[in-house]
Amino acid sequence: MTDLSINAPREYEPTFGDYFALLKPRVMSLVVFTALVGLLVAPGSLHAVEIFAAILFIALGAGASGALNMWYDADIDAMMRRTAKRPVPSGRVEPGEALAIGLALSGISVVMLGLATNFFAAALLAFTIFFYAVIYSMWLKRSTPHNIVIGGAAGAFPPMIGWAAVTGDVSMASVLMFALIFMWTPPHFWALALFTKSDYGDANVPMLTVTHGRDTTRRHILGYTVAVALVAIGLALTPVGGPVTLVAALVLNALFLKGAVAIWRRDDAAAEADNYLVEKKFFRLSLYYLFLHFAALVADAAVRGVMA
């Protein structure tokens, strides 16, 4: 008997771009930026080639965890408009391929970061990949409405890894850079969840908007915004902060708090009336918020460099 099934042609041959899309390039850009800031503001210095290699392998590690996430979440990604076109749910890449790429890149990125810088930074990267792929994707995302809060930790590690790549340790400044992204993530995503309301419910992902209602979500956005403001001011007062960071923290957090209070004070009827204008504005501001905070840290480091 002859079985030719293993030679059966695939309906779709993936391109290089399909595989690259597994690495979530847009998320990677945030990782590259925050890790670079961690590297630049840390005391000590690396050769430009080492900085490039460190950033490359931190980004690759983040991409690997993205591929593992897409492998595991293909079932729920297929149900949401925002994610249905990803390579695995759309059928362009086989789930097994996404898993293999994720595992291979995880190993390569961790070992190479260790060789390029130090193994403490590599261990932090390994933990980040484990945290995002196993703790967040496989466990918390589907089981608790605090999924975003805890999952945010995975996105918060890159500046800490960048810092560790230079110094080989953890400090108050690097913990506060972590805390800034960690506390920023919930208001950022919950604002998005408020105006893309039906998607997470369709996929049975326990978003706070679905499990505890939208008014509770609005209160939580305000709570975390107050917390992130305190962290931002604290970061400005550490040795990596300075006048630029302090001014940026005061201005950005005043704007962020103003937006959070506006979200908290209104209900869904008011939001429906203007097509979630306030929530969308807050979400947009949250993108600038993080970028400008980290840019301010680099500006202060440059000022210190010039003064020295």
Is 17 an interacting residue with respect to another protein (CB under 8 A)?
yes
Is 53 an interacting residue with respect to another protein (CB under 8 A)?
yes
Any idea of the CA torsion for 214, 259, 189, 31, to the nearest 10 degrees? -170
- If one counts every other C-beta atom within 10 angstroms of the C-beta of residue 79, the result is 16
* Integer CA distances (angstroms), 268 to 186, 197, 206, 209, 271, in order: 19, 11, 19, 11, 5
User: Nearer Cβ to another protein, position 14 or 201?
Assistant: 14
CB 59 within 8 A of CB 30: no
Is 19 an interacting residue with respect to another protein (CB under 8 A)?
yes
- Widest pairwise Cα distance in the chain: 80
Which tokens sit at 279?
């929530």
Q: Which of 68, 272, 286, 36 is nearest to 177 (CA)?
A: 36
CB 62 within 8 A of CB 141: no
Is 47 an interacting residue with respect to another protein (CB under 8 A)?
yes
Is 120 an interacting residue with respect to another protein (CB under 8 A)?
no
CB of 116 to another protein, least distance (A): 6
CB of 226 to another protein, least distance (A): 43
Is 49 an interacting residue with respect to another protein (CB under 8 A)?
yes
Is 127 an interacting residue with respect to another protein (CB under 8 A)?
no
User: Nearer Cβ to another protein, position 168 or 223?
Assistant: 168
* Integer CA distances (angstroms), 117 to 22, 125, 151, in order: 26, 12, 26
- If one counts every other C-beta atom within 10 angstroms of the C-beta of residue 104, the result is 12
Single out the residue of 114, 152, 186, 242 in contact with another protein (rule: CB under 8 A): 114
Task: Count interface residues toward another protein (CB under 8 A).
Answer: 18
Is 139 an interacting residue with respect to another protein (CB under 8 A)?
no
CB of 67 to another protein, least distance (A): 15
Is 96 an interacting residue with respect to another protein (CB under 8 A)?
no
Total count of residues recorded for the chain: 308
Stretch that binds another protein, among 116-124, 142-150, 243-251, 264-272 (CB under 8 A): 116-124
User: Nearer Cβ to another protein, position 50 or 268?
Assistant: 50
Gap between the Cα atoms of 118 and 14, Å rounded: 36
Any idea of the CA torsion for 271, 278, 182, 22, to the nearest 10 degrees? 80
Site string for another protein, 208-247 (x = CB under 8 A): ----------------------------------------
Is 50 an interacting residue with respect to another protein (CB under 8 A)?
yes
Is 116 an interacting residue with respect to another protein (CB under 8 A)?
yes
* Integer CA distances (angstroms), 56 to 91, 157, 160, in order: 28, 15, 15
Is 32 an interacting residue with respect to another protein (CB under 8 A)?
no
Gap between the Cα atoms of 115 and 130, Å rounded: 20
Gap between the Cα atoms of 120 and 114, Å rounded: 7
Stretch that binds another protein, among 35-43, 50-58, 83-91, 96-104 (CB under 8 A): 50-58
Binding site for another protein (CB under 8 A): 13-17, 19-20, 47, 49-50, 52-53, 56, 114-116, 118-119
